[in-house]
Amino acid sequence: MAKSYYDPADLRKFGKITEWSEELGNKFFDYYGKVFEEGALSAREKSLIALAVSHVVKCPYCIDAYTKDGLQRGITKEEMMEAVHAGAAIESGATLVHGVQMMNKYDKLSM
Amino acid sequence: MTQSILTDIKKAAKKSLKAREDELANTQTQMEILNGELFADGELPYFKDKIAETGQFPLKPKTLEVLQINVGYMCNQVCGHCHVDAGPDRKEIMTRETMEQCLEVIRNTGAHTLDLTGGAPEMNPDFRWFVEEASKAGIQDFIVRSNLTIILANKKYHDLPQFFKKHNVHVVSSMPHYTRGKTDKQRGDGVFDKSIKALQMLNEVGYGMPNSDLKLDLVYNPSGAFLPADQAAMEHDFKKALKEDFDIDFHNLFAITNLPISRFLDYLIASDNYEDYMYSLVEAYNPTAVENVMCTNTISVSWDGWLYDCDFNQMLDLKVASKVKHIKDYNDDVLSNRDIIISQHCYGCTAGAGSSCQGSVA
């Protein structure tokens, strides 16, 4: 076994997950491929959304993949960083909005 | 990549690999890498085995359409990705005698496209004479691959737009990105501003304008260890940005994949991207692209008159596998029977939508 949990070379092996469950694996990859096709949103816009989400879910494989995908699409580093901030803002907002719950509870418990 | 490696690459990039006496200037060393353990150990398939899967080995030429002539490796730029290892220190320049031999072939060949490349082809002292003579041959599409900055490099080149116009030359120019940062990183500081100015000069004489017969196309090479995206999408982005920011018009954008040879190979190895890049190329392999790969309709001629299946094979010194190997002995019939020489660098032309000097092929 590798000594670290993440090996960048494992990303290339992603497709192998179908070997242990062909039906579900194929369904996933078909779905995945379809999602990123040009649609109401451009493939370029979806790439930036994927990059932002990759950071929010803290997936190093996804970050590698969508940084490269963005470079391939000619997406600039400024656009990429703004996308990451958009993800980070939602993530921190999601934490902070719970502050209202804290305030509610605090008020309820306080005389 | 550490900052120090980046700095080393940047410093080194002012000279060609050849001038630096770098071991990668040796084509044998490059071939050893391309045939190295990544393929020899079976981790990735050899290109010949890959195309054999679809019955495309050996790769054979079709009708000759493009004669591509490299008039010399001298260039005013030293781009980080250059597969020619061109630069100001390269002295290999086509002589007028070899040009005469080329003209003889241009007059008699059935090829509809003549494609002059370099280095910066304009730096050949006989460039203008050659263009004047070649344009008389009545070739349908006469391309000059201009790096743009040459137009501003010296007063004697300032009138190139008018010269190109006079001979109805089809100008194809490199432009790695529509932003300054990415362009200058690949091609050198100041290249972006000069390229913009040169494009505006070409537009001024009518090149690249909507409905103009004066064709101006741009070439996009990725500025790093990644493949180009969809050509049409890139063209849309380039057109929008260059129009909005600089009021520049052009016709088509050709997206070209960087092949893992010469200075780009040097970059891939130094930045520890070689293995990943080869994986990307092999994973993106597209058998449809093989059908239209440019070596099947092109002959490449070097500055000293030798014949190659493509400009990349020229830089790896892989001469055509034919009895006829030199422009002075040129013979369409003999050459059309040859097998095209392939190696692992060929994956660069068959990745995704495919890649050729005219952009995507699939």
A81 touching B (Cβ < 8 Å) = no
Domain boundaries, chain B: 3-349
B277, B81 Cβ separation under 8 angstroms? no
Phi-psi region of B259 (alpha: psi -120 to 50; beta: other; left: phi over 0): beta
By Cβ distance, the residue of B182, B233, B238 closest to A73 is: B233
Q: What is the pLDDT along chain B (362 residues), one digit of tens a residue?
A: 455 555 555 555 689 999 999 999 999 999 999 999 999 999 999 999 999 999 999 999 999 999 999 999 999 999 989 999 999 999 999 999 999 999 999 999 889 999 999 999 999 999 999 999 999 988 899 999 999 999 999 999 999 999 999 999 999 999 888 988 878 887 888 899 999 999 999 999 999 999 999 999 999 999 899 999 889 999 999 999 999 999 999 999 999 999 999 999 999 999 999 999 999 999 999 999 999 999 999 999 999 999 999 999 999 999 999 999 999 999 999 999 999 999 999 999 999 999 998 888 88
- Decide if A72 and B228 are in contact by the 8 Å CB cutoff: yes
User: Which residues in chain A touch residue B179, judged by CB atoms under 8 angstroms apart?
Assistant: 76
User: Which residues in chain A touch residue B283, judged by CB atoms under 8 angstroms apart?
Assistant: 12
Enumerate the β-bridge partners of residue B87: B74
Give pLDDT, residue B181: 81
Q: Is the peptide bond before B58 cis (omega within 30 degrees of 0)?
A: yes
Mutate which: B276, B278, B283, B355, vs A, most A CBs within 10 A:
B276
- Count CB neighbours of B138 within 10 A: 9
B108 by DSSP, 3-state: which? helix
* CA-atom Rg of chain B in angstroms: 19
B259, B83 Cβ separation under 8 angstroms? yes
Q: What is the 3-state secondary structure of B250-286?
A: CCCEEECCCCCCHHHHHHHHHCCCHHHHHHHHHHCEC
- Decide if A12 and B283 are in contact by the 8 Å CB cutoff: yes
Low pLDDT (below 50) residues in chain A = none
- Decide if A72 and B227 are in contact by the 8 Å CB cutoff: yes
* CATH (one of 1.25.10, 3.30.1370, 3.20.20, 3.40.1350) for B3-349: 3.20.20
B90 by DSSP, 3-state: which? coil
- Decide if B179 and A76 are in contact by the 8 Å CB cutoff: yes
The number of distinct structural domains making up chain A is: 1
CA pair distance B251, B48, nearest whole angstrom? 36
**Taking the mean position of all CA atoms in its chain, how far away is CA B257?**
10
CA pair distance B171, B199, nearest whole angstrom? 10
Give pLDDT, residue B189: 86
Amino acid identity of residue B116, one-letter, is L
Enumerate the β-bridge partners of residue B254: B219
- The position carrying tokens 């990544």 is B38
- Decide if B226 and A71 are in contact by the 8 Å CB cutoff: yes
Tell me if A8 is assigned to some domain: no
Give pLDDT, residue B10: 56
- The position carrying tokens 């019939």 is B333
User: Which residues in chain A touch residue B220, judged by CB atoms under 8 angstroms apart?
Assistant: 74
- Residues B345-362: pLDDT tens digits? 999 999 999 999 888 888
- Residues B158-214: pLDDT tens digits? 999 999 999 999 999 998 889 888 788 878 888 999 999 999 999 999 999 999 999
Kindly report the nearest CA distance between residue B226 and chain A, in angstroms: 6
Burial of B295 (0-12, 13-18, 19+ CB in 10 A): buried
Q: What residues contact A13, with CB distance under 8 A and at least 6 apart?
A: none
Q: What CATH number corresponds to the domain at position A84?
A: 1.20.1290.10
A44 touching B (Cβ < 8 Å) = yes
**Residue of chain A with shortest Cα separation from B279:** A12
B85, B25 Cβ separation under 8 angstroms? yes
Burial of B164 (0-12, 13-18, 19+ CB in 10 A): buried
CA pair distance B316, B27, nearest whole angstrom? 5
Instruction: Copy the structure tokens of residue B172.
Output: 């194809």
- Decide if B226 and A68 are in contact by the 8 Å CB cutoff: yes
Closest CA to B95 of B87, B103, B107: B103
- Decide if A73 and B222 are in contact by the 8 Å CB cutoff: no
By Cβ distance, the residue of B177, B229, B238 closest to A72 is: B229
User: Which residues in chain B touch residue A7, judged by CB atoms under 8 angstroms apart?
Assistant: none
Q: Which chain B residues in 161-200 lie under 8 Å from chain A, judged by CB atoms? A: 177-179, 182
Size of interface A-B (CB pairs under 8 A): 28
B76, B310 Cβ separation under 8 angstroms? no
Looking at residue B217, the DSSP 8-state letter turns out to be E
* CA-atom Rg of chain A in angstroms: 19
- The position carrying tokens 């780009």 is B264
- Decide if A74 and B283 are in contact by the 8 Å CB cutoff: no
Closest CA to B310 of B31, B27, B66, B51: B66
